[in-house]
Amino acid sequence: MKNIVILGSTGSIGKNSLDVISMFPDKFRVIGLTADTNISILREQISKFKPEIVALGDEKAYRNLKGMMNGIRQPFILHGLEGICNVAEFDRADIVISAISGFAGLLPTLSAIKARKTIALANKEVLVTAGKIVMSEAEKHGSAILPVDSEHSAIFQCLNGIKGDSVRKIILTASGGPFIGKTFNELQYVSFRDALKHPKWKMGKKITIDSATLMNKGLDVIEAHHLFNMPPDRIDVLIHPQSIIHSIVEFNDGSFIAQMSEPDMKGPIAYALSYPERLHNVMKTIKWDKITPLNFYKPDHRTFPSLSLAYQALDAGGTMPAVLNASNEIVVKAFLDEIIGFNDIPVIIKKVMDAHTNQPAENIDAILNIDEWARKKTIEEINK
């Protein structure tokens, strides 16, 4: 029996993780949950899974939850960043699912790493902003990092038991989001409602907008660089609208291995929780005689420049990826709030990156300071 903590249990990955755990009650037990403000869903999760410890990022939500606990067994409830970090390093936990959205997941994930937990990593921003630091800490403390993103899980599975020097290239696939085939001019007046209509995946708002801009795939490239120690020029992206092939590894002899399944996050979640075993009947199987043709296209960097910005940030190294990520988080919120247009997103990010004097990413304090600077600078550019 593995004891599981879920950081960000009320989000899409958190809910899918709990679905997987519910399918295998003899293998997994939930002992810790965290959320930010969504107390109604969290209370339901507490009632069903009976965790020992819970934390809320928002203090008002924490007080409200405490007042809603009549009739169910009350866990130890904490609040704030310190409380979430305490749950992340809970001594009885075996696996910590890092599913907090965005930069907010960095410090709790580091707390879990320093507590020598196995990390099921669904938060790509952890490695985008502080990849060298995080991977170094994981090695230092003997903390295994198992990828949950579908693309990185796919690469991880394809590389299982294979020597790194036999790999020529890794190829990350992308659905292309709702705007595949559109031109830059056609995207000028699309709304956030249009951008949230993802054709294949059900995800949170922020990652869905990132998928529409292809920034999500750019962040995936940076994450893959750190996870698999692969230089940027050996990480490619292919648009694959059917989302059946989740990623591909090319080997030196000219052969390829791809990982395929129906688009369902329960698959990579289950693999991370059960590794190196595989669980039975986690997803629907592919009906090969019914499947539509599988298509692949090179990404359109002119229409979706966010992908190029991510490669530029990775090439620059240092604190530039943290600037990219922070600025992107702010502009995506501004787009969702209808303050800026869709095509403004990469324009503003580029202005912030151009204004940044790159520095070595030597420690977490440097990352935190640059993150704060980039957010303020992005707001300035939005206000212009």
pLDDT tens-digit series, residues 185-198: 899 889 889 888 87
Measuring CA to CA, how many Å separate 69 from each of 18, 64, 74, 80, 130? Answer: 20, 9, 6, 19, 37
Domain membership flag for residue 207: yes
What share of the chain has pLDDT > 90, as a percent?
Answer: 86
Query: Could you give the CA distance from residue 76 to residue 284 in angstroms, rounded to a whole number?
Result: 37
Domain membership flag for residue 348: no
State the pLDDT at residue 148. 97
Which of residues 277, 293, 316 is at a domain's end?
Answer: 316
Q: Is the predicted pLDDT of residue 138 greater than 90, yes or no? A: yes
Residues 140 and 159 in one domain: no
Domain membership flag for residue 176: yes
Domain membership flag for residue 335: no
Query: Could you give the CA distance from residue 65 to residue 63 in angstroms, rounded to a whole number?
Result: 5
- pLDDT tier at 70 (50, 70, 90 boundaries)? confident
Which of residues 293, 316, 339 is at a domain's end?
Answer: 316
Give the CATH number of the domain where residue 101 resides: 3.40.50.720
How many separate domains does the chain show? 2
Residues 309 and 196 in one domain: yes
- pLDDT tier at 62 (50, 70, 90 boundaries)? confident
User: In the predicted model, what is the mean pLDDT of residues 305-324?
Assistant: 98
Q: pTM above 0.75?
A: yes
Residues 172 and 216 in one domain: yes
Residues 281 and 249 in one domain: yes
State the pLDDT at residue 110. 98
Domain membership flag for residue 326: no
State the pLDDT at residue 365. 95
Residues 192 and 306 in one domain: yes
State the pLDDT at residue 180. 86
Domain membership flag for residue 358: no
Query: Could you give the CA distance from residue 220 to residue 243 in angstroms, rounded to a whole number?
Result: 15
State the pLDDT at residue 177. 87
Residues 129 and 210 in one domain: no
Phi, psi of 79, rounded to the nearest 5 degrees:
-150, 165
Torsion from C-alpha of 312, 314, 319, 325, nearest 10 degrees: 80
Residues 137 and 172 in one domain: no
Q: Is the predicted pLDDT of residue 165 greater than 90, yes or no? A: no
Q: Is the predicted pLDDT of residue 314 greater than 90, yes or no? A: yes
Residues 120 and 164 in one domain: no
Query: Could you give the CA distance from residue 212 to residue 193 in angstroms, rounded to a whole number?
Result: 11
Q: Which residue has the higher pLDDT, 267 or 62?
A: 267
State the pLDDT at residue 160. 87
Residues 110 and 208 in one domain: no
Q: What is the pLDDT of residues 257-291, one digit of tens each?
A: 999 999 999 999 999 999 999 999 999 999 999 88
Cα angle vertex 170, ends 157, 132, to 5°? 85
State the pLDDT at residue 202. 74
Domain membership flag for residue 293: yes
**Ramachandran assignment for 229, one of left (phi > 0), alpha (psi -120 to 50 degrees), beta (any other):** left
Lowest pLDDT segment from 200-214, 330-344, 350-364: 200-214
Which two tokens mark 75?
């866990």
Measuring CA to CA, how many Å separate 253 from each of 16, 219, 234, 246, 257? Answer: 38, 29, 15, 22, 12
Name residue 174's beta-bridge partners: 239
State the pLDDT at residue 181. 87
**Residues in Cβ contact with 79 at an 8 Å cutoff, skipping those fewer than 6 apart:** 55, 56, 57, 58, 59, 61, 62
Q: How many CA atoms lie within 13 A of 172 on its CB side?
A: 29
- pLDDT tier at 221 (50, 70, 90 boundaries)? very high
State the pLDDT at residue 67. 82
Query: Could you give the CA distance from residue 54 to residue 34 in angstroms, rounded to a whole number?
Result: 6
Residues 126 and 165 in one domain: no
Which two tokens mark 58?
């928002």
Give the domain range for residue 191.
Answer: 152-316
Query: Could you give the CA distance from residue 225 to residue 305 in angstroms, rounded to a whole number?
Result: 20
- The DSSP secondary structure of 60-104, one letter per residue, reads HHHHHHHHT-TTS---EEEEHHHHHHHHHT-TT-SEEEE---GGG
Q: Is the predicted pLDDT of residue 71 greater than 80, yes or no? A: no
User: In the predicted model, what is the mean pLDDT of residues 283-300?
Assistant: 93
- pLDDT tier at 97 (50, 70, 90 boundaries)? very high
Among candidate residues 74, 110, 106, the one with its CA nearest the CA of residue 89 = 110
Residues 137 and 170 in one domain: no
State the pLDDT at residue 264. 95
Which of residues 316, 339, 363 is at a domain's end?
Answer: 316
Residues 108 and 214 in one domain: no
Domain membership flag for residue 302: yes
Q: Is the predicted pLDDT of residue 163 greater than 80, yes or no? A: no
Instruction: Indicate the average pLDDT of the chain.
Output: 94
